[in-house]
């Protein structure tokens, strides 16, 4: 029989909401097994306490418990942190290092914000979950580990899978037993209890009387949606405890600390404009090159039409050219600039006195040939990198800043293209 009150007291859990009690019960029931657990819930709901419950009630409670915030570790070092590295595997690797999976052998690892892991690291993690095997960075030796993995995230994992940011097989491997922590807005009866607990804690810390709420202030507190959940409630309670001299808090005072407070919020319809996102620096570079080629093609077509018509049907040519120029303006973000005016007619080249320009067919053919030329994106990327390195005398940091990419990415591309 699970004693919920004893567990809540031991792990400082405040509240009696049915969804919260259910999450605690699932955590305790799955603890004696070695199944992987995925804890989901919004930011600030207190997900970090559930891995501690699982570890405490498991057979591994005498082993190590390591909590890792995956979102706080840079992408370039996350593999080394989790799996370790050998001496000389990368710049700065002056000695061998044990990773968390080696150190926590026989214990539990809590991977917070697991949705932030790079795809390459997700592959390594999947192998640990399936076979208990891993390799250090820069080593080919397969090592064994016996670690219980508990993960947590506030990310919409199914959406991340559809966008190619999270591996589907890893999701099902982690989500053997799901634990859903409810948001604070679904625990209305617990809000006053939490406020009293925080107010008492801050009163002891800052040596002042505890806050007290009148009935209207309680209604304001309970009706607020709390997008930041328990973390936001604790933060606001601390603000009021420090700033307000009056210990009796009324509704007006409480509203002053709640951002964008509305007792009866109305649904808002917002049509988000379409925006294009890029998952890598290479995609950005490719898009820039394609845009440049399209703009040059349109400009060449404009010049070609001027030369071909040679003063004939100038009105029609002018309208077409104005359309092309307007198109270029709109694509490059100059919608607010004045459009080309028809007060500047196309010069009638055939009527200009003096020596006439003999337009050869090969000029036109050259123009057409340029329009249909194909660009090698890799060559263009390599050329831009070489120019940037030459501009800064080989200094990769300055060159990376000029190109708008990270120094790590630039170093990888230098090796990929074998640039001296």
Q: Give the mean model confidence (pLDDT) for residues 113-123.
A: 95
pLDDT at 296: 80
C-alpha torsion 365→369→370→372, nearest 10: 140
Q: Is the pLDDT of residue 171 over 50?
A: yes
Average pLDDT, integer, range 296-321: 66
Q: Which long-range contacts (CB under 8 A, 24 or more apart) does 369-375 make?
A: 370/296, 370/300, 371/297, 371/300, 371/301, 375/289, 375/293
Q: How confident is the model at residue 115 (pLDDT cuts 50, 70, 90)?
A: very high
Mean pLDDT, residues 154-158 taken together: 93
Taking 60 as the threshold, does the pLDDT of residue 235 lie above it?
Answer: yes
Q: What confidence score (pLDDT) does residue 367 get?
A: 44
How would residue 312 be classed by pLDDT, with cut points 50, 70 and 90? low
**What domains does the chain contain, in order, with CATH numbers?**
4-182 (3.40.50.300), 185-257 (1.10.8.60), 291-371 (no CATH), 377-417 (1.10.10)
Q: If pLDDT is split at 50, 70 and 90, which confidence band does 99 have? A: very high
pLDDT number for residue 340: 47
Assign 117 a pLDDT band (cuts: 50, 70, 90). Answer: very high
- pLDDT tens figures, 47-88: 999 999 999 999 999 999 999 999 999 988 999 999 999 999
* Spatial separation of the C-alpha atoms in residues 197 and 210, rounded to whole Å: 10
Give yes or no for a contact between 49 and 13, defined as CB atoms under 8 angstroms apart.
Answer: yes
Mean pLDDT of 355-381: 53
pLDDT at 20 over 90: yes
pLDDT attached to residue 341: 46
Residue 91 pLDDT grade (very low, low, confident, very high; cuts 50, 70, 90): confident
Q: How buried is 83 (Cβ within 10 angstroms: 0-12 exposed, 13-18 middle, 19+ buried)?
A: buried
Q: Following DSSP, what letter does each residue of 329-386 receive, concatenated? A: HHHTT-TTSPPPPTTSPPP-GGG--SSPP---HHHHHHHHHHHT----HHHHHHHHHH
pLDDT of residue 320: 65
- Compare 177 and 345 and report the one with higher pLDDT: 177
Backbone angles phi, psi at 393, to 5 degrees: 55, 40
Tell me what pLDDT residue 3 has: 87
Under a CB-based contact definition with an 8 Å cutoff, are residues 249 and 240 in contact? Answer: yes
When the pLDDT of each residue in the chain is averaged and rounded to a whole number, the result is 83
pLDDT of residue 401: 84
Average of per-residue pLDDT across 13-37: 95
Please state which of the ranges 45-54, 279-288, 297-306 shows the lowest mean pLDDT. 279-288
Report pLDDT digits (tens) over 392-405.
888 888 888 888 88
Average pLDDT over every residue of 13-35: 95
Are 77 and 120 in contact by the 8 Å Cβ rule? The answer is no
User: What is the pairing mode between strands 142-144 and 97-98?
Assistant: unpaired
pLDDT above 70 (res 344) = no
């Amino acid at each position: 029989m699970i004693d919920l009150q004893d567990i809540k007291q031991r792990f400082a859990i405040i509240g009696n909401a049915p969804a919260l009690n259910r999450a605690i019960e699932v955590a305790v029931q799955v603890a004696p097994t070695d199944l992987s657990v995925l804890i989901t819930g919004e930011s600030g709901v207190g997900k970090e306490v559930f891995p501690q419950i699982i570890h405490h009630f498991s057979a591994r409670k005498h082993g190590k418990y390591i909590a890792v915030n995956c979102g706080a570790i840079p992408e370039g070092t996350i593999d080394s942190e989790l799996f370790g590295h050998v001496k000389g595997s990368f710049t700065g690797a002056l000695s061998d290092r044990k990773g968390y999976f080696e150190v926590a052998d026989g214990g539990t690892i809590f991977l917070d914000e697991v949705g932030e892991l790079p795809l390459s690291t997700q592959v390594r993690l999947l192998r640990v979950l399936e076979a208990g095997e891993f390799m250090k960075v820069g080593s080919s030796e397969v090592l064994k580990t016996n670690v219980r993995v508990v993960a947590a995230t506030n990310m919409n994992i199914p959406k991340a899978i559809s966008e190619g940011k999270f591996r589907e097989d890893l999701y099902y491997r982690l989500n053997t037993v799901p634990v859903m922590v409810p948001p604070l807005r679904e625990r209305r009866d617990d809000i006053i209890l939490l406020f009293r607990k925080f107010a008492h804690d801050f009163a002891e810390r800052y040596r002042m009387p505890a806050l007290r709420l009148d009935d209207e202030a309680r209604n304001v507190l309970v009706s607020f949606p709390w997008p930041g959940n328990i973390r936001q409630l604790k933060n606001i309670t601390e603000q009021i405890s420090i700033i307000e001299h009056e210990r009796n808090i009324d509704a007006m005072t409480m509203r002053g600390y709640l951002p964008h407070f509305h007792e009866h919020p109305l649904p808002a319809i917002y049509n988000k404009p379409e925006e294009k996102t890029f998952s890598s620096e290479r995609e950005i570079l490719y898009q820039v090159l394609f845009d440049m080629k399209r703009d040059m093609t349109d400009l060449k077509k404009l010049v070609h039409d001027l030369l071909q018509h040679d003063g004939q049907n100038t009105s029609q040519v002018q309208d077409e050219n104005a359309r092309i120029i307007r198109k270029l303006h709109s694509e490059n973000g100059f919608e607010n600039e004045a459009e080309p005016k028809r007060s500047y007619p196309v010069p009638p080249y055939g009527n200009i006195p003096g020596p006439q320009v003999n337009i050869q067919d090969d000029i036109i053919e050259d123009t057409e040939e340029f329009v249909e030329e194909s660009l090698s994106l890799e060559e263009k990327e390599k050329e831009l990198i070489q120019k940037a390195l030459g501009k800064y005398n080989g200094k990769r940091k300055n060159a990376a800043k000029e190109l708008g990419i990270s120094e790590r990415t630039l170093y990888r591309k230098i090796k990929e293209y074998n640039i001296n």
